Amino acid sequence: MAQPGRLIAVVGPSGVGKDSLIDALVAAQPALVRVRRVITRPRDLGGEDYCAVSSAEFASMAAAGAFCLCWGAHDLRYGIPTSAVAAARDGTSVIANLSRGALAEAKAVFPAVLALNVTAAPETLARRLAARGRETPEAIARRLARSGAPVPGNVPGVTINNDGPLQETVRAALAALSLADAEQG
């Protein structure tokens, strides 16, 4: 049987650059498999590559066992397909944009979890959120208010800053993943 893989759960506040970092990490580490989330958000809003569904479709999928993890945030529902856990159990490391609030459940579901907590200064977050044009100023303020939420202490992880150029953040993340691999092995 293959050595179990793990979930690399990229967490952090809205606007911190989780999806850009995930794209860059997958490009740098082709064996890493990106998990495509299912979200109750219209398709035309841009950002990450996700499967857009209605609230009714999401509920039906959840009831049918399509998700190994699901949660709600910012008036949306998010789901991680069960195929992600199957891949990790077969030895593949998967990477996903995950809610900090879903980490404890992820730890119970996946053979191993590493939280990659991405941070940035509030000014950076506000600028990025405004630039993507999906939220009103009030919604941005609500997202910024949640930006300092802690990562649960029972999930192994590392924190990296994404205030500078993405390549610096990618280098820091790759170093953190290598260190975690060395400690795990």
Alpha-helical runs (H) found in 133-165: 137-145
Strand, coil or helix: 157: strand
Cα(24)–Cα(102) distance, integer angstroms = 23
Cα(166)–Cα(67) distance, integer angstroms = 31
List the chain pLDDT tens, one digit each, 185 residues. 345 689 999 999 888 999 999 999 999 998 899 999 999 988 876 667 889 999 999 999 999 999 999 999 878 999 999 999 999 999 999 999 999 889 999 999 998 999 999 998 888 888 888 888 777 888 878 877 776 666 776 888 889 999 999 999 999 999 988 866 655 55
Q: What is the pLDDT of residues 5-45, one digit of tens each?
A: 899 999 998 889 999 999 999 999 988 999 999 999 888 76
